[in-house]
Structure 1
Amino acid sequence: MAMTKVMIVDDEILVRIGLRSTISWEQYGFTVAADAANATQAFEKFDAADPDILITDIRMPGIDGLDLIKTLKQKKPGLKMIILTNYDNFDYAKQALELGADEYLLKTTLDNHTLFPVLKKLQKEIDQERKNHIQYQQLEYKALLGLSYIKRNFAERLLMNKITLEDWQEFLKELNLPWEKNFFQLALMKKKAGHEVKRMNTQPLQLIEEIVEKIHGSLVWELPNSSKWTIIYSFPSGEKSNFCKQVIPFNIRQVQSCLKQYLQISAVTILSQPINNYGQLPEIWQALCTSEGNSIFWPERELIFDYDISYEQPLIPVGYSQKNLIQWIRLGQNDKIREMLDELFTKVDKARSLAVLNQIWHELFGEIYCLIREHGLPLSTILIEKEQEGDYLKNFSSITDMNQWFYQKFCLLIKHIDNSNAKPYSFPIRQAITYLKEHYIEDINLIVLAHQVGLSKNHLCTLFHSETGQNFVDYLHQIRIGQACNLLTSTDLRVSEVGLKVGYHDAKYFTKVFQKYQNCSPSEYRETITNTI
């Protein structure tokens, strides 16, 4: 338990020294935080000391104890006060009690036996007041949580079109919202692409709610499992122009500024046109969600208006020559690819059409996939795991970023295709090798592999041996043993566990195969490599 802090104010130094030194403060849970010879010193030391109990004389030179009590009680209403008095100034003590002092003691009888019962009584009152304050804060917090839940539920039901006229009227009454004849405007706010949201004590939703509720009790709904927030603004019809042009844009910028300053979140917002019927909110919200990807066309802007977005097909056709692209990749003509991509994405940027952007994205992404498979390359050599997802488009913050990403991937393809051409296998064999490299841990046989590449079992067997100089089983063993060597030197896994990791479920068989290809057991291999390092 925290010590109760005491401040002593008396113009007699012997009284101050006596109180400090002759009384066992710590033994009873108290500490003397400061002492002062007069009221002026007390004012100067009060903030730093922050006492719980003030022990003060009444009659002092300069500012007397009565003015001291009055001022400090206003500064800290919960401060407990003990007045020290003599027989001849009881009238002063009476005035002090009227000003808020809690007890008075005679200096002539001041000692442990007279002072500490009073101190313990006040300490008990302080502890109880602290407990009451904590309980009040908890109740207040629970009440706020309940109110927040009602507001969020109201916002969700409005946007999801799950509200009746009776529900609408009941919510307005419960939340004391004068929205019956108001206009509405939606704002869809989302984290900018490429910016991670860190875990923190203050959640973005709480911060946004605190800022926007000042605008006629505006509501906020957070899309589950995402960094997207929808704000429902409402305002009287007579103030439409002022709210749409000034109040709401300013409020949105306040939110974005606070998110960036306090939570390190950069956000972009799309603002709808105003409407005069709450029943239109679901339709408007769906339109905003559909068009949110358009923010990629304005990477420098944090507030985009609905009228900025074009929903019409572009007048200029946007496309590229697939034949030329593939030819340039095979010939390693990076400059031609750079030129083609720059021209293509300039057209995409001018079109400002999300449909066109999606079309170009999927076409170019498909080219990468086809070239990877055609040349028998493992997918992970070109695309990391998260890039293999079909909706990776959402991770780009600008057209320039997307352009550069495709250029880097095509250059990487050129490099790996050049390397793979050193062994000019036919397309089915490249497919087979890629499948073996990606699925070596599985139970693979020639029938499974033949099905994957679209050949008969016998045809694949003959073709595989003809082009690689090895049969299918030896090739698979070499892949597995190569992976086993990596695990033996880079992990502490047991030999049997390494075998399982590379596709051998029988530890003895794994050791036998390893011995055949490495001329030593797995344990000997690990020991040799470790000693070499």
Structure 2
Amino acid sequence: MYNVLIVDDEPAIREGLTTIMDWGALGFRVADTAGSGREALAKLERVQIDLIIMDIRLPGMNGLDVIRKIQQEAAGIPFHFLILSGYADFEYARQAISIGADGYLLKPVDEEEMAEELQRIYRMLESREAADGRHDRYSDYLEDLLLNAYKGGEGEPGPVPPELQWPSYQVIMLDIRLPDTDRMGRMALAREQLSNMCRERSYGFVFTAGGHTGILLRRPLERPEQALELMREIRETLSSCAAAVYAAAGREVTSLGQLKASCDAAGFLLERRFLFRGDRVLLHSDWVALGQNALENSGDTFLETESGMPHRDLADRLYYALEMANEDTVAQILQDMEKMCLSHGDSEQSVKEGFARVMTLALDKYMAGRERSSSSLEPASLIAEVYGQRSLPELVEQVQLRLKQLTASLGEGSKEAVMKQIVNFIHTHYGENLKLELLAETFNYNSSYLGKLFKQHTGEPFNLYLDKVRIRNAKRLLAEGMKVHGVAQHVGYANTDYFHAKFKKYVGCSPSAYRSYNRKKGQTE
């Protein structure tokens, strides 16, 4: 028996409709009645209803508004509507059918006409229930097949149903993010809505595997535009119950016995969905693009592997690019980091941790000694934005945008301005491991060409100029009484013997002798 709700503001009509028909013989029973649209909505929350027979004109909220409200709040749950109207309300009845009503009857109601309408709707309900039953059976079959495969079994659990004998198969795995309230109920509704969508559009069948929801497609996705459209349809279908949805496709297979391979590939991609934009279903081509390193990922981040660049080197490159106000180099460094993440197949957490470490080191160094104003980019602010991004491409874009705020204020300048920046940089960072090759990379110059420009600007080769700056500062520190090995480290010479040789070459005496001479000189003065 299917449940009917009769809605009319006239008690006599509600009573007449309840008694005039042999409801049981038609496969229905009157579960309840309501005198207004709002009362009908309230009763729908307490009683399971299959068919609503409703007057088009109701106090406060007409039948059209009731239909729209039900469709809005109960998306995915099937309701059938039969509208009652007078001759003057024919336009309302036509609108009702255009938004989902199954038919209309003119008042006063003719018993034979109403019986015919009820028989028609009964057949629709029966057909849908039969389709639901078939869908459930095939979903159970797929879940048994996968359970058997994950336990090490081979082949299919029994004969393949004719309805599942397709030329090829492809699995879509879904990550459905739910609000915190009524999670179990929302997940059940989400799977019901997906099942309805797949059945109505002949996409395939919905099943569950390992806590995830899957769709077995009868027509595999082949092009990005198909993946984009399917993602749009899925999100639109689940908009009433899911906060966010992500999806990934496994590889196309030719038998159900290979279904586990398609599931595993989809699951692998779904775990790494952060590496790609989430506006479409991820495809097998994305899986291929990750490369062998990603497939063999041991769990370390790209920053900690031999194939990746150490995070301190990346931070230094980024720091130098910021110091030189070079937007192009900043962009290139971030793109290099993005490629490393993709090639290594990092998880969302490891990507964000890696970027946060590089940004923190580079920005802390950049901000040291600078006056922090309201326009300055605080490291903590950028790190918070890193962890708030939904995908790696969006993360890179946002970081690049924020860092551009820094480089834009410094400007790009001419060759002469670049040389001045490099000279100033040497005078303030002579104690660091400065190399012409690193500066050339920062400014997108060939190192030989940059060396020629530097010599034209200063009159001396880069290494000679750097040595003189270092020795000049070393003389100052030795005169102040600092010990020789401390001076060597401070001015950028890791090896004390090498510092000793350089100092003697340029000054004519050893560092210790220079220090002793200045100490005696200070005592006599």
Q: How does the TM-score come out when normalised to structure 1?
A: 0.38
Larger radius of gyration: 1
Q: How does the TM-score come out when normalised to structure 2?
A: 0.38
